Amino acid sequence: MTEPMNEPLNEQILTEASAWFIEYRSGPLSASAHEEFMAWLRRSPEHIRAYLEVSRGYVELPASGEVPPPEIERLLAKARSRETDGVVALEEWTPRATALRPPPQKGALRRRLAVAASLFLVLGGAVGGYLFTQRGLYTTGPGEARTVTLEDASRIELNARTRLRVRYSAGLREVDLLDGQALFQVAKDHTRPFIVHSGTAQVRAVGTEFDVYRRGPDTTVTVLEGTVAVVGGSNPASDSTGPPAAANVLVTAGEQAVISPQGSGKPRAANVSAATAWTRGQLEFEETPLSEVADEFNRSSTRTLVLKSPQLAQMRINGVYSSVDPTSLILFLKSQPDLIVTEEGNEIQVRAH
Amino acid sequence: MAAKYGGRLRRFLKSRLSNASDVPDLAQEVFLRLMRAPNHEDIRSPEAYLFTVASHVVHQHHQKQFTAPVSLETIEGFAGRHLASGDDPTARTELLERMAHLERTLDQLPPRVARSLILHRLGGHSIAEIASDLGVAEITVKKYLARALLHCRTVGEGISP
């Protein structure tokens, strides 16, 4: 805890870190350059800190593709005008040896930017057209995550292996969760209720944030902010065209309710962090049965975790694992003395000793 | 090419090192692991290796009860998970803030240093292309960019979380 993370870094080391960082952005480096850099990194923790800080400074800058070409052109023109006006004369930054050289092909990059600008518009139109033909259907595959922003600025974050359909009309905003899990951030609009249909459950919200997880016949609703009204029952999502007649259960922030075809469970205090760990690329388990852990794993991985010994289903698992890199969980299971883990093709088989 | 790599790098660092600042001895721990690395001369890209090790240290710091072993992966392995959609309002607000910060930085830099940074990072142009546009040697462009990078860090202090 005494690590001087907030003390200013040595200016010399920072300068070297920046130079190395630019070398790495300049193209492939030779083996000897890699070696030299490794030696530089191994000089002190200070060198490592400097390099990480410089890297972070760089990635915070807007990147190509993020900024429309006219904006790039404006910034370039601004810098150029300072150069010719002589408003800021910083001659020490113009090395004498090269300043005299005639600038060849001036404006060549500018023309290319103009071409890029027109491409930007063409591509924008094509993407819009593609989404339109999908008619509000959004899907994700194994290990994939996706965020969708809707016309009213509501946001839906889809977990892996999820399918949902968005149906907006004049008086109603409806989403069918066909499979999987999603986090909803609903924009406030009292004239247009927002309703999520998941199996036999209907979740109704106005302006709030909540997670809906459809697993087999059950739906788990976790509320992060505000309140939602949950209606259980037996009418499936497909034939519900209007808003639900009455609210059965109110679930408020920090609570969770499970809705099965038999009806809605009472809302109880939820581990919101665990329920939404997937949005941070994590799988979070707290006394979770291994069978459920396997389900979660199989969702985020293209390989399948299979429990070969029935008694293992109830084994409890704790911890936080990366869902982006499911091998962390496999390695954890392999390190358990009671378990035998074997890999056969696409299957990861777990047995009790 | 440099810019494409830059975008992936950004996503990688954002997702893996976003809460690095609350790991107090991150640099120390990464340093120790680098010193312990067997056959470090076989490491194909020490930079990718550095980011991977750092991300594991951050990851493990945030694990509460277990220190599960984590396999090594390259930058490419993590990238592309979060596909930023262009119509995401949060990302747009964040981008506007980053743009404003960039413009403040550019205004304080010598004009040619500023132009180099714009062409490289925003325009995605190679060092050679920028050198020919500015009419200077490639090594000069590298110096400009390194200088700009140092300055970004200074201006960024106290602004970005």
Quick check: B159 contacting A, CB < 8 Å? no
- On whether the pTM is more than 0.80, the answer is no
Distance from chain centroid for Cα A190: 29
The secondary structure element, H or E, covering residue A209 is: strand A209-215
**Residue ranges making up the domain that contains A126:** 69-99+108-130
- Has residue A343 been placed in a domain? yes
A204: how many CB neighbours lie within 10 A of its CB? 17
- Has residue B11 been placed in a domain? yes
Quick check: B61 contacting A, CB < 8 Å? no
A261 and A285 fall within a common domain? no
Which residue does chain B place closest to A57, by CA atoms?
B153
Give strand pairing partners of B80. Answer: none
A245 and A126 fall within a common domain? no
Q: How many domains does chain B have?
A: 2
CATH number of the domain enclosing B123: 1.10.10.10
Please compute the mean of the pLDDT values over residues A127-152 and round it to a whole number: 63
Domain termination residue (choose one: B38, B58, B78)? B78
Q: Could you give the dihedral angle defined by the CA atoms of residues B102, B85, A324 and A313, in that order, rounded to the nearest 10 degrees?
A: 140
Task: Give B-chain residues touching A27 at CB under 8 angstroms.
Answer: 1-2, 126-127
Domain termination residue (choose one: B30, B45, B78)? B78
Domain termination residue (choose one: A221, A238, A273)? A273
pLDDT band at B88 (very low <50, low <70, confident <90, very high): low
Q: Tell me how far apart the alpha carbons of residues B2 and B6 are, in angstroms, rounded to a whole number.
A: 6
Give strand pairing partners of A155. Answer: A149, A185
Greater pLDDT, A323 or A179: A179
A19 and A73 fall within a common domain? no
- Has residue A4 been placed in a domain? no
What is the CA angle A213-A134-A128, rounded to 5?
A: 115
User: Among partner residues B34, B121, B149, which is closest to A41 by beta-carbon distance?
Assistant: B34
- Has residue A1 been placed in a domain? no
- Has residue B7 been placed in a domain? yes
CB pairs under 8 A between A and B: 278
B68 and B117 fall within a common domain? no
Closest CA to B134 of A97, A71, A80: A80
- Has residue B161 been placed in a domain? no
Q: What is the pLDDT of residues A203-213, one digit of tens each?
A: 988 778 899 99
Q: Please, which residues 19-58 of chain B have a Cβ atom closer than 8 Å to chain A?
A: 20-21, 24-28, 30-31, 34-35, 40-41, 43-47, 50-51, 54
Give strand pairing partners of A288. Answer: A317
A199 and A125 fall within a common domain? no
Contact B27 A52 (CB under 8 A): yes
Task: Give B-chain residues touching A25 at CB under 8 angstroms.
Answer: 2, 5-6, 120, 145
Q: Tell me how far apart the alpha carbons of residues A264 and A266 are, in angstroms, rounded to a whole number.
A: 7
B93 and B152 fall within a common domain? yes
Which residue does chain A place closest to B18, by CA atoms?
A56
DSSP state of B68: -
Q: Tokens in use for A228?
A: 């939602």
B96 and B60 fall within a common domain? no
**Residue ranges making up the domain that contains B45:** 2-78
* Gap from B123 CA to chain A (nearest CA, Å): 5
Task: Give A-chain residues touching B69 at CB under 8 angstroms.
Answer: 328, 331-332, 335
- Has residue B83 been placed in a domain? no
- Has residue A64 been placed in a domain? no
B102 and B144 fall within a common domain? yes
- Has residue A2 been placed in a domain? no
B94 and B65 fall within a common domain? no
Contact A75 B122 (CB under 8 A): yes
pLDDT band at B80 (very low <50, low <70, confident <90, very high): very low
Contact B103 A79 (CB under 8 A): no
Q: How many domains does chain A have?
A: 4
Greater pLDDT, A1 or A74: A74
pLDDT at A108 over 60: no
B54 and B119 fall within a common domain? no
B74 and B93 fall within a common domain? no
- Has residue B84 been placed in a domain? no
Average pLDDT, chain A: 76
User: Among partner residues A22, A44, A66, which is closest to B149 by beta-carbon distance?
Assistant: A22
CATH number of the domain enclosing A306: 3.55.50.30
A230 and A146 fall within a common domain? yes
Domain termination residue (choose one: B34, B52, B78)? B78
